[in-house]
Amino acid sequence: MNISNPAKASDFKSDLKPVWCPGCGDYHVLLSMTKALAELECRPEEVAVISGIGCSSRIPAYLNCYGFHGVHGRSLPLGTGLKVARPDMTVIVAGGDGDGFSIGGNHFLHACRRNIDLTYIVMDNRVYGMTKGQPSPTTEPDWDSALSPGGTGLSPFHPLVIALASGANFVARAFSGDIKGTSNMIVEAVRHPGFSFVEILSPCVTFRPEQREWKSAIHPPTVEPTDDPARAARRIMTDDGFNVGILYRGTRRPYRIGDGVASREVGDLDTAFAI
Amino acid sequence: MSAGKSPVGADIVDLAELLAHAYAIEVEAAERYRVLGDQMEVHNNPELAGLFRELAGHEEKHAAEIKARALKTGMAELKPSEFKWPGTEGPELAALDDAHYQMTPWHALQMALAAETRAFEFFNSIVESTAELDIRKWAGEFREEEAEHVALVEGLLEKYPEPEAGWSEDDDPPNMQE
Ligand SMILES: Cc1ncc(C[n+]2csc(CCOP(=O)(O)OP(=O)(O)O)c2C)c(N)n1
Ligand code: SF4
């Protein structure tokens, strides 16, 4: 494949045809990612996109850069390991709300806390799309479906609040249908040092067809991003879930190799463990 | 959100920049129709796959014509954020979120009509707001081409009546809760 210099958005698209349902929000996210990578003037060989399992987690296959379609819920440990081993690379971890907040929930907390310089994109459709429509941690308690008659009655997980409370250094919400806004937000997230979290509301038109209406519910931010976690928390807790924009840009120093680590070479480990 | 309309004509500074926009409009529209064609192929709607690919072919032809014109003027190299689109992406892009695996030619042509009309309006806003004579002249020519495309799609639509309500119902959907 001939890559232009600088690489164009289309250079980041692979030749594989996506198998997502027509109308799925993830098509928009794919486009936004290719535009963001072109905007960042990255080369495909300098970028790795790591995912877990789910419809959304198919995204590395559709991108032309390094990619790894990992184990369900384990994309963040993989991304963390890669970034620590290859700090020169741009590492983007991507997946769904089931992958990231259910089976991968514990990794999410600790990835925020570790504040390693990578970007985590969650395509949140408030459902498990790939396994045919089970409720996820972000599903509304009263979502009535064949698999959850009358709704789960459970309080939804609030990803942005949890990210903020756990130490993420950049917290934002985007809407997949706003391709320009989403790609700008990905650019900002990648540029911001430390762990950047972007929740992208991305409709599942098959199991949540009512989410096609999200495009009329979305509204722009009313305030500027803040570096004050208390203000950010108040704002996130009081919004209606459809407020998009950058909510928090923190100033925590990202984790660096060597922080709190006594030995760095494999040989040093041998010595340390020698009996 | 970055959506919203604003006139862009006054912001286009020279012919090289105008050409970059005109070229991107056609290339991206062609890519978008190819994506939709692929979706329809994957979801076993061969009639629509063929129609979207035909639309893509038209856009590719226009893109080649614009590229040839740019040999004289040069074409600006723009990053995605440097394009002065009035909305969240190029005006001639068919709306991806309107796609449905059971859609009919009528739906596809409605998408195309909306896209061509937006492209017409884009060049029209340049014609109406630029102070540069040669930009106005070239944008006027692009506007006329878009008007022809609108007429072409309207002509095609006469062959395809609007489907009856219930077109999206499927007794055996590919994906359902079990
Ligand atoms: C260890 C393990 N447990 C369960 C599954 C089944 N599984 C596959 S995808 C998925 C949920 C996907 O939901 P989400 O991450 O929200 O992605 P979407 O498909 O909605 O994009 C589940 C439970 C699995 N593949 N592996
Ligand atoms: S099932 Fe839902 S999430 Fe999966 S591809 Fe279809 S629309 Fe997208």
With cut-offs at 50, 70 and 90, classify the pLDDT of residue A57: very high
CA atoms of A202 and A200, how far apart (whole Å): 6
| Residues with pLDDT less than 70, chain B | 1-10, 178
pLDDT, residue B5, reads 46
Q: Is the pLDDT score of A275 beyond 70?
A: no
- Sheet architecture: strand order including A90-96: A66-69, A47-51, A90-96, A119-124, A196-201, A170-175, A245-249
Do A40 and A134 meet the contact criterion of CB atoms below 8 Å apart? no
pLDDT, residue B4, reads 40
Q: Is the pLDDT score of A162 beyond 50?
A: yes
User: From the CB of A55, is ligand 1 less than 6 Å away?
Assistant: yes
**For residue range A190-248, what is the model confidence (pLDDT) as tens digits?**
999 999 999 999 999 999 999 999 999 999 877 889 999 999 999 999 889 999 999 99
Query: Residue ranges of the domains in chain A?
Result: 24-272
pLDDT, residue B3, reads 38
CA atoms of A223 and A128, how far apart (whole Å): 32
Q: Is the pLDDT score of A15 beyond 80?
A: yes
pLDDT, residue B177, reads 75
A259 class by beta-carbon count within 10 Å (0-12 exposed, 13-18 middle, 19+ buried):
exposed
Q: Which of A29, A125, A212 to mutate to test the pocket of ligand 2 (most atoms within 8 A of CB)?
A: A125
Looking at all shown ligands, the one closest to residue A134's CA atom is 1
pLDDT, residue B157, reads 95
pLDDT, residue A215, reads 94
Do A16 and B89 meet the contact criterion of CB atoms below 8 Å apart? no
Query: Residue ranges of the domains in chain B?
Result: 12-157
CATH 3.40.190.10 for domain A24-272, yes or no, is no
CA atoms of A244 and A203, how far apart (whole Å): 15
- Rounded mean pLDDT of chain A? 93
ipTM of predicted complex: 0.88
Among residues of chain A, what percentage have pLDDT more than 70? 94
Do A78 and A50 meet the contact criterion of CB atoms below 8 Å apart? yes
Q: Which CATH class is domain B12-157?
A: mainly alpha
**For residue range A66-81, what is the model confidence (pLDDT) as tens digits?**
999 999 999 999 999 9
User: From the CB of A131, is ligand 1 less than 6 Å away?
Assistant: yes
Among residues of chain A, what percentage have pLDDT more than 90? 87
Q: Is the pLDDT score of A33 beyond 80?
A: yes
Q: Which two tokens stand for residue B173?
A: 């959907």
Residue in the block written with tokens 């937000």: A185
Q: Which of residues 10-39 of B touch A (CB under 8 A)?
A: 31, 35-36, 38-39
